[in-house]
Amino acid sequence: MRYIPHTPGDVAQMLERIGVGSLEELFVEIPASARLKRPLALPPALAESELVRELKALAARNATPENRISFLGGGAYQHFIPAAVDLLISRSEFYTAYTPYQPEISQGTLQAIFEFQTLICQLTGMEVANASMYDGASACAEAALMTVRLTRRRKVLVSRALNPRWRKVIATYCRYVDVELVEVGYAADGRTDLEELAGKLDGQTAAVIAGYPNYFGVVEDLAALAGLAQGAGARLVAGVAEGVALGLLKSPGELGADIVAGEGQSFGLPVSYGGPYVGFFAARMKDVRAMPGRLVGETVDRDGKRGFVLTLSTREQHIRREKATSNICSNQGLCALTATVFLSLLGKQGLRELAQQNVAKAAYAREQLQKVAGVTLPFAAPSFNEFVVRSSKPAGEVLAALEAQGILGGIPLGADYPELGEAFLVCVTEQNRRSDIEALAGALAGGAA
Amino acid sequence: MIVGTSGLVLNEKLLFEHSDAGRKGYSLPALDVPAATLPDGLCREEIAGFPELSEVDVVRHFTRLSTWNYGVDSGFYPLGSCTMKYNPKVNEVACRLPGLADVHPATPDHLAQGALTLMYQLQEMLAEISGFPAVSVQPAAGAHGELAGMLAIRAWHEARGNARRTKVLIPDTAHGTNPATAALAGFDVVPIASQGVLTLEEVAAHMTDEVAALMVTNPNTLGLFETNIEAICALVHERGGLVYCDGANLNALLGIARPGDLGIDVMHFNLHKTFATPHGGGGPGSGPVGVRADLAPFLPGPLAVRDGDSYRFAGPPGSVGRLLAFHGNFGIMVRAFAYIRSMGAQGLRHATEMAVLNANYVRARLEGSYHLPYATRSLHEVVFSDRDLPNDCHTLDVAKRLIDYGYHPPTIYFPLVVKGAIMIEPTETESQETLDEFCDAMLAIAGEAGADPELLKNAPVRTRTRRLDETGAARQPRLKWERPC
């Protein structure tokens, strides 16, 4: 086996040093009744060349933007990834290390996380960010639990316009910890219904959670949501599914959010059939001790030289056990590094330009689709790089007809939003060329819709 | 030979301190549609403090940072409980194949058959390895898999009307994630004492009709097989409870014993430990959860299921719900799949045998020089303590001195039941020569503790930084860069 160095001679010498006669004797503590009495029934071992062939064969059976025009978004976004990103995170000093428990030989990871925390604070307009969460949805769920700890209230209002998958994850995390989740609908323009929200807020409300932009791609009025929530003594959690939007939109912090829980996949991570992605989590400094997850802080060594360490760990499971702020241990370290590299390359200008291209491409797509007979765009509020399309024919049929022309036209919304009728979510990024958009409009006009 | 040496250590500022207005390391194509923007009121000013760097600045920055790190590829990394085995390179290539890395998670099932096949086959292989008939690969890490498992246990009891069962028994050797997870699933934690291994009597004494489950780790964090596990499982079942197993130490059992055959009801896997996926400086991992048949309806989902020759996502019917926005850390699943397919049944068993051989070899070489609190035969890891070190030298000092010798230290001060614990897990990918050099270093350090304890107290001296002021960091937290006033 190519990953195991022992020769039969090594094994014999080592057994002798241990003082046992066989490998079998090493397992003497495992009772005979507990032993597996047959070999595992697994497929035969593959040589490296055979493995690569098998994986390529599997890979060939998947649709990707290499063989389709794709307008899929809905929480995972197809942005270009500069070559330097993957080459840098492929330095094995980064990817074969573990959690930086020994700071003197982990300063690379620690400084990079400190930079990640800083970048997230700058992007979100918040005061403190952690070292990462599993993804945006689980970050949002942890945010809901944090507001319950902070306010000692047990009701959380969740906007129906928040990504439905994220809402499901919040529900899973809250399932057995006595938190009541209440849905708040959206208004005709696609934004969270402020009147309904005002009516549902009360002295038991810990938090209001809304997407920014929301699942329909619509930019919520976060300042109004914050005002209402905080007026009732509750916290506002902004859930950011498309991080690139923060390159252009006012930061949630500036608009009054108390916690920003987001998805950083757009920052250099491939869509990879759903993961690994990276959740980011940012809050106010006054609440730092209630935060989940790891934090890296600046300090000095014995010679007074700047260095970085894991800090405030008395919040965490390995110290506080059942009283910890979360059970999270391994997070998405390498993905946080990926985001850090990506954001460093784009920088202040690059990220804004990227966000603007996304807006312009999506605006052009909206304009083209609006002209198609049988297609309507139900929501008028400004949107970022996604929007809802309603068709006269069943959405499943429309998407199947597009698929037949090599176009992944969007994500059907019927199961999550039956009230929208025949609708689907279209995402347009800088990776979609004008000709792609025109192909979509053309196919819809040509009968698909 | 001392592996550690003092080479070239480059200085490097923070990204933000490098920044120069007007630089960027990125290019976009010319806009091919009319320019459009959002209403002014929605848009921000420029992002204050955000870096501005060229591509070469960024490449040098992160390359230099990487040289301050120590990974499995740098050298021996015997971090106990973490199974820092070698991460095969072909797996890194595999997960980056465009047909896998570029599949959008909302792709209709019939257009993602390759990805679904892989997930299904991984579920099946993990089921065979562990003895649990149903596996969900959705959880993102070990603690996430624990949450999935404990939620399923809660739901299973609920479906049987066992609302009174609100307690979970957890031995004192457990990882901190176990009690933290039990709390997150709404349980009250009852700690129980172990005598190295759990005794039937201790479990029996606490196993009331309010107890929903026992959480064990097997082999436990002392590296010892829970010899009474079958009787304990039978007792817990008899009294209406379930047994959860933390699968962090599965590397000791591949092809030897299957947790599902021992009476355990639920277990999570750590693909980043047992199945050789890289640890990434703190993730991403992957924490699939396996359950016995009658708990399968409660698994987090959807799962990859097979219909004849095709695959789709479905159910499970009574699922505790979704734990992530999408299907789990697929890129990590690809690597684990590649590992299992490369090893085969015989290879996996061989890995376990060599992992156990290596741990016992280290034990044999260090016993006598370091205090060994438990005499029972070790499996994949061995725990020593600092009890016998002279001159007020402690575990932390040994760990820091090991760095000067060129090693990543073992896990220290865990498990909590051993004062000054030094927990060594060599894994199977280390050769006898590597282990000998490491043991020589450990023995030299034990000698230094007697002859020249300052060498330990001052260590490390060959690193980028010396010991850092952690107390100061916590007292006045500086958690982000701020422009100097």
For residues A70 and B104, is the Cβ–Cβ distance under 8 A? yes
Residue ranges of chain A with per-residue pLDDT less than 70: none
On whether both A296 and A166 belong to a single domain, the answer is yes
* A409 belongs to a structural domain: yes
DSSP 8-state code for residue B171: E
Length of chain A: 449
Instruction: Identify the residue among A273, A308, A402 best suited for mutation to test binding to B, counting B beta carbons within 10 A and taking the highest.
Output: A273
* A298 belongs to a structural domain: yes
Burial B97-115, CB ≥16 within 10 A → b, else e: bebbbbbbbbbbbebbbbb
Mean pLDDT over the full length of chain B = 96
Final residue belonging to a domain, choices A315, A342, A369: A342
| Mean pLDDT of the region B325-337 | 98
On whether both A192 and A180 belong to a single domain, the answer is yes
Chain B residues in contact with A74 by the CB 8 A cut-off are: 106
* A7 belongs to a structural domain: no
| Mean pLDDT of the region B433-443 | 98
Please list the helix, strand and coil fractions of chain B in percent, rounded to the nearest 5, in that order.
40, 15, 50
pLDDT, residue A425, reads: 98
Final residue belonging to a domain, choices A342, A369, A390: A342
Give the separation between CA B469 and CA B447, rounded to whole angstroms: 27
Q: Do A351 and B348 touch (CB under 8 A)?
A: no
On whether both A132 and A259 belong to a single domain, the answer is yes
Percent of chain B surpassing pLDDT 70: 99
Residues 281-320 of B with CB under 8 A from A: 281-286, 300, 320
* A17 belongs to a structural domain: no
Band the pLDDT of B5: cuts 50, 70, 90. low
Q: Which helix (H) or strand (E) holds B347?
A: helix B330-366
On whether both A326 and A369 belong to a single domain, the answer is no
Q: Do B280 and A94 touch (CB under 8 A)?
A: yes
**Amino acid sitting at position B162:** N
On whether both A243 and A185 belong to a single domain, the answer is yes
On whether both A304 and A430 belong to a single domain, the answer is no
Assess whether pLDDT exceeds 70 at residue B6. no
pLDDT, residue B363, reads: 98
Work out how many domains chain A is built from and give that number: 2
Percent of chain A surpassing pLDDT 90: 98
Domains for chain B: give ranges and CATH numbers: 1-28+46-68 (no CATH), 91-342 (3.40.640.10), 354-463 (3.90.1150.10)
DSSP 8-state code for residue B209: T
On whether both A151 and A290 belong to a single domain, the answer is yes
Give the separation between CA B229 and CA B199, rounded to whole angstroms: 9
On whether both A419 and A355 belong to a single domain, the answer is yes
Give the separation between CA B313 and CA A81, rounded to whole angstroms: 29
Final residue belonging to a domain, choices A311, A342, A373: A342
pLDDT, residue B1, reads: 66
On whether both A195 and A335 belong to a single domain, the answer is yes
pLDDT, residue B9, reads: 84
* A30 belongs to a structural domain: no
Q: Tell me which residue has tokens 């350090």.
A: B445
pLDDT, residue B166, reads: 96
Q: Is B15 on the interface with A (CB under 8 A)?
A: yes
| A-to-B residue pairs, Cβ atoms closer than 8 angstroms | 694
* A317 belongs to a structural domain: yes
CATH (domain of A279)? 3.40.640.10
pLDDT in tens, B464-483: 999 999 999 999 999 999 98
Instruction: Identify the residue among B312, B333, B464, B480 best suited for mutation to test binding to A, counting A beta carbons within 10 A and taking the highest.
Output: B480
Chain A residues in contact with B351 by the CB 8 A cut-off are: 1, 3-4
Give the separation between CA A244 and CA A251, rounded to whole angstroms: 12
For residues A395 and A423, is the Cβ–Cβ distance under 8 A? yes
For residue A398, the enclosing domain spans 69-81+347-448
On whether both A206 and A242 belong to a single domain, the answer is yes
Residues 335-364 of B with CB under 8 A from A: 338, 340-351, 353-354, 356-358, 360-361, 363-364
Assess whether pLDDT exceeds 80 at residue B283. yes
pLDDT, residue A359, reads: 98
Smallest CA-to-CA distance from A113 within A345, A346, A331 is with A331
Q: Do B283 and A117 touch (CB under 8 A)?
A: no
On whether both A396 and A413 belong to a single domain, the answer is yes
For residues B472 and A297, is the Cβ–Cβ distance under 8 A? no
CB-nearest to B230 from A34, A111, A337 is: A34
Identify any residues that bridge with B171 across adjacent strands, giving them in sequence order: B192
* A51 belongs to a structural domain: no
ipTM summary value: 0.98
Instruction: Identify the residue among A7, A20, A79, A105 best suited for mutation to test binding to B, counting B beta carbons within 10 A and taking the highest.
Output: A105
Q: Do B26 and A345 touch (CB under 8 A)?
A: yes
On whether both A97 and A159 belong to a single domain, the answer is yes
